[in-house]
Amino acid sequence: MYVSARADYAVRAMLAIAAGEPALVKAAALARTQEIPLSFLQGILLDLRRAGLLHSHRGTDGGYTLARSAGEVTVGDVLRAVSGSLTTVRGLPADDATYHGVATGLRDVWLAVHAAIEQVVDSTSLADLLPGRRPGALTRNRLP
């Protein structure tokens, strides 16, 4: 179970842009405050824009802004935008895994893991994570 640098950076960038609303936030500012390599970040921002999560504006006083409000964007949306499928097994989406013989039941494990992850990231919006909100909005999702 591995969260890639792309995925981590993408959520942090979206949070920083959401926190700057309604002003535009520059890529260079994101890279500085969140300690993300600028060139790498630019590729991630491009993916987020192509996925329809960001609007970009060029020229002086340009930058990025959210395409939807922070409450309408979930962490899962961001992860899917930069990683394709949310959960992959050996590089393929969890659904596509086919097992032979005694390992047939393993498929259900990965599907259960996928569902468990989905339940967390799809029920958490960017607004839930921003400071100034009630802390621990997530705690009720932790364990039964």
Partner DNA sequence: ATCGTTCCTATTGAACAGGTAGGGAATATC
Partner DNA sequence: GATATTCCCTACCTGTTCAATAGGAACGAT
Please give the residue ranges that form the binding site for DNA (CB under 7 A).
4-6, 9, 26-28, 37-40, 42-43, 45-46, 49, 56-64, 90-91
The nearest distance, CB 34 to a copy of itself, in angstroms, is 6
Q: In this complex, which beta carbon is closest to a copy of itself, that of residue 58 or of residue 96?
A: 96
Helix (H) / strand (E) element for 108: namely helix 106-121
Check: CB of residue 113 under 8 Å from CB of residue 106.
Answer: no
Measured on CA atoms in the order 119, 125, 129, 132, is the torsion positive or negative? Answer: negative
User: How far apart are the C-alpha atoms of 138 and 75, rounded to whole Å?
Assistant: 12
Look at residue 59 and give the partner it binds from DNA, a copy of itself, none, a contact being a CB closer than 5 to 8 Å depending on partner kind: DNA
User: How far apart are the C-alpha atoms of 106 and 34, rounded to whole Å?
Assistant: 38
Count other C-beta atoms under 10 Å from residue 16's C-beta: 17
Phi, psi for 26 (deg, rounded to 5): -85, 150
Q: In this complex, which beta carbon is closest to DNA, that of residue 28 or of residue 115?
A: 28
- Which residues sit at the interface with a copy of itself, rule CB under 8 A? 1-5, 7-8, 11-12, 15-16, 18-19, 33-35, 75, 79, 83, 86-91, 94, 97, 99-106, 108-117, 119-121, 124, 128-131, 135-136, 138-139, 141-144
Place of tokens 């995925």: 7
Look at residue 40 and give the partner it binds from DNA, a copy of itself, none, a contact being a CB closer than 5 to 8 Å depending on partner kind: DNA
Look at residue 129 and give the partner it binds from a copy of itself, DNA, none, a contact being a CB closer than 5 to 8 Å depending on partner kind: a copy of itself
